[in-house]
Amino acid sequence: MSAPRALRRLDAFQQRHAVLGFPVAVLKKFSDDQAGGLAALIAFYGFLSVFPLLLVLVTVLGMLLSDNPRLQQQVLDSALTEFPVIGPQLSGNVHALGRSGFGLAVGLAGTLLGARGVASAIQNAMNRVWEVPRHERPGFPFSWLRNLGVIGLIGVGVLTTTGLSGIATWGADIAGIWSRIAVLAVSLVINVLLFWAGLRLATAPEVSFRDLRLGAVLAAIVWQVLQAVGGYVVAHDLRHASSVYGTFGLVLGLIAWLYLQARLTLYAVEADVVRRRGMWPRSLFPPPLTRVDREAYDAYAKAEQRLPETRIEMHVQDGAGSSAGDDDASAAHTEEA
């Protein structure tokens, strides 16, 4: 059997079986949306906001808990549980800005700029993944208001995680493993609600609140699993980076961790979009294109529509027509504004 024929048979097999076709469609859409680049942008702005935020946190703790250094360290360590492996390194390398108002103002400004960049990158990613036409995406000032809402939710998430980590540490001395299980369950529920609200703020109103539900659940589960075992991934790749490269190794570890979180979260959202819009099966080795392929490419084209008065057409050449078994044999899709 020739290689092209074997590939076509493999492609036809995955199209007939949803257990294979669905994940293939998710991977295909992730690639079509260039979601890896979107995740990298989120991680970049996240990195810009994390260090100023930690500087502000350490400074404020030093002011409020100047008589209790041990409590200062406990609160900081609880906040840094979001960063397995590199959390202890961050705790040991981030120092206060001093007690001057100028230093604190600089830290707050850096945090705000970085957080605004994160919120904008998240908005862009969500609207891109859901293929929302550009003219239907929120513009100024509503996009800024949504950014502030996303920033607020991120802040609530950090505070909640810090509080739950403190409760888990305190409860472990009393109830042992059961307290940790209870905290884990509560954390999952809270994360689902936070992700659901965050996805609602970050996605244009064209996408309904119910459509975002599964994506929020998947993203929260991914986040929870990543907190539990994802540190091993970073530890395996960068276990000697800090000792060999010093601060540079710490930076690499932090960026890798943020990128891993963003990438897996986008995979969860992509899976929700594919499920909600029935975007499978997809062809691995076109031509021919499946009906869903042509609908997907049509949606990608429409997503670039900048004005409601414009008209966008997507044509499929005869040689890239439908796969066998597709009922719709039309070769063109036209959008009227």
Q: Which pLDDT tens digits describe the chain residue by residue (337 residues)? A: 578 888 889 999 999 999 999 999 999 999 999 999 999 999 999 888 876 776 666 666 666 666 766 766 666 665 555 555 555 555 555 555 555 566 667 767 777 888 889 999 999 999 999 999 999 999 888 888 898 888 888 777 766 766 665 565 555 555 567 767 777 788 888 889 999 999 999 999 999 999 999 999 999 998 888 877 755 555 555 555 555 555 666 677 778 888 988 999 999 999 999 999 999 999 988 888 889 999 999 999 999 988 888 888 888 776 555 554 444 433 334 334 3
**Alpha-carbon dihedral angle through residues 209, 227, 274, 7, given to the nearest 10 degrees:** 180
Count other Cβ atoms within 10 Å, centred on residue 195.
26
Count other Cβ atoms within 10 Å, centred on residue 49.
22
**pLDDT at position 205:** 93
**pLDDT at position 324:** 41
**pLDDT at position 327:** 43
**Identity of the amino acid at 241:** A
**pLDDT at position 4:** 81
**pLDDT at position 49:** 80
Boundaries of every domain in the chain: 3-27+282-335, 35-276
Whole-angstrom CA distances from 112 to 47, 56, 105, 279 are 12, 11, 10, 38
**pLDDT at position 161:** 67
**pLDDT at position 266:** 96
Question: What is d(CA 179, CA 170) in angstroms, rounded to the nearest whole number?
Answer: 9
Q: Indicate the pTM of the whole model.
A: 0.79
**pLDDT at position 234:** 54
Question: What is d(CA 150, CA 152) in angstroms, rounded to the nearest whole number?
Answer: 5
